[in-house]
Amino acid sequence: MQKDGLKTILVVDDDQDYLNQMKIQIEQFGFNVITADGQNEGVALIEKQRPDLAIIDLMMENMDSGFILGHKIKQKYPDLPVIIATAVTAETGLLFGIESEEDKNWIKADLYLEKGLRPDQLHREINKLLKI
């Protein structure tokens, strides 16, 4: 959904500080930003409007909230790019990735990023997925 000709990015994270930081950063890249502070609010938002790209946290209400939300977004908008951004490796030591086709089919995300990405890297990845 474009307002003022700008693309809209949905950011979903249960960490309010991180959510605010991402909103400011992505607005500085020149995008509109809508936010949700969890899986349920994210689902409600995508029912009302279609963003151009979604960045979602993995662990929110539940360990797999990001996966569930990613599935729901792809069910409703199959071509909408989804980035899962998480600190799960730093927090748990578990490694995640979406290298294989099997992983991509199960996870339903176009890109998997570790939180703490430099702003220029994040901007580059968003532009790549939006084909800007």
What are the extents of the domains in the chain? 8-130
What single-letter DSSP state applies at residue 63?
T
What pLDDT is stored for residue 107 in this prediction?
57
- Rounded CA-CA distance 97/76 in Å is 23
What are the Cα distances from residue 20, in Å, to 7, 23, 37, 83? 18, 5, 10, 17
Instruction: Give the whole-angstrom CA distance, residue 55 versus residue 82.
Output: 6
10 Å Cβ neighbour count for 105? 9
From first to last of its 132 residues, the chain has per-residue pLDDT tens of: 455 679 999 999 999 999 999 999 999 999 999 999 999 999 999 999 999 999 998 878 887 788 889 989 999 999 999 998 877 544 444 545 445 455 445 556 788 888 888 899 999 999 999 998
Distance CA 72, CA 94 (A): 24
**CATH number for region 8-130:** 3.40.50.2300
Please report, in angstroms and rounded to a whole number, the separation of the first and last CA atoms in the chain: 16
Identify the residue whose tokens are 């099997």. Answer: 102
pLDDT of 105: 54
Sign of the torsion formed by the C-alpha atoms of 104, 106, 98 and 1 = positive
**Residue 107 and residue 97 in contact, taking contact as beta carbons nearer than 8 Å:** no
- Retrieve residue 118's tokens: 């430099």
